[in-house]
Homo-oligomer: A and B are copies of this chain.
């Protein structure tokens, strides 16, 4: 790939054994199960390790035990707090289980599938976020006997021997929308593209359900992407009169915040003129005025569960048929019209 010359030869289990005057088996034991070695020889070995600055070669161990003791995690990006929290939860639980985590960020790569195949070469299992990886590659990995868990992939991701883990979206979306309607809003817009992610799709489903329950016809979703500038652009169109709305249910907080701020800067009053709500409960949501009403997901728990399940799958568990769905919680602040 890159380097020409090999690593300069460091100490090995052999040099340590020689120096301590024992066999390599004993050195190995001192490292793996110190208690089975007599105190005296153990100390001699430890001294030798110290003097030679011995660092065991993980690859050699992995080869011998036929385990990488590492989990792969594929995330689309790391913007905003969502993915960071997911990663933290994953890493935390993985570490508790004695597994390293090898991280792969999809958005900066030319060829994600190649990178994932390469990754699968050095881990015991893979956690992939939603649709960052092609179904074909996932199934290749699966056929290569590596467990895969999908995070926030929706039902579509299940099957193929892949386990699915996600947060509850539809019913919280319904609850949130009902809350907005209960504030007396008549013209509620869903801002975000259901086709862009299964999370968004589920949220839109809940949005529609809430309207149906009140025998109201939901407006068609405003299909825009997730980022700040997408929100700004939408706000412009709204101000220009392209849409009429007295409430906006945005697919996530970044979107909601950029829309809300932009409307306020243009002289609109939130929530009086228009209510704005979002998803994720990012830090900014509690700093803006009014505070942003949103839905908090147990993101770190998603990560933890992914690591946990992956570990069990590597250990030989059969994949669960049913997806794992974690509960979410409404966070009411001022932007929806609440006092």
A→B interface (CB under 8 Å): 1-8, 10-11, 53-63, 65-70, 77-80, 83-85, 87-88, 91-92, 95, 97-105, 108-109, 115, 117-122, 124, 140-141, 143-146, 228, 257, 261, 283-284, 287-289, 311, 314-316
Contact = CB atoms under 8 A, between A and B. Distances in A.
B66 A63 contact: no
B70 A102 contact: yes
A4 to B, nearest CB: 7
30 contacts: A2-B97, A2-B311, A5-B316, A7-B66, A7-B67, A7-B124, A7-B145, A55-B117, A55-B144, A55-B145, A55-B146, A57-B63, A57-B121, A58-B122, A59-B60, A59-B63, A60-B63, A70-B102, A78-B87, A87-B103, A91-B103, A91-B105, A92-B105, A95-B104, A100-B104, A103-B103, A261-B287, A284-B284, A284-B287, A288-B288
Contact of A122 (B87, B100, B284): B100
Contacts of A70: 102, 122
Q: Which 10 A-B pairs have the closest CB atoms?
A: A58-B122, A1-B98, A59-B62, A55-B144, A53-B143, A58-B121, A6-B66, A92-B108, A284-B284, A10-B145
A95 to B, nearest CB: 6
Copies in the complex: 2
B63 A63 contact: yes
A69 B257 contact: no
Contacts of A92: 105, 108
Contacts of A115: 95
Contacts of A124: 7
A166 B36 CA distance: 46
A139 to B, nearest CB: 9
A259 B4 CA distance: 53
Contact of A78 (B77, B84, B98, B109): B84
A140 B101 CA distance: 22
Contacts of A2: 97-99, 311, 315
Contacts of A109: 95
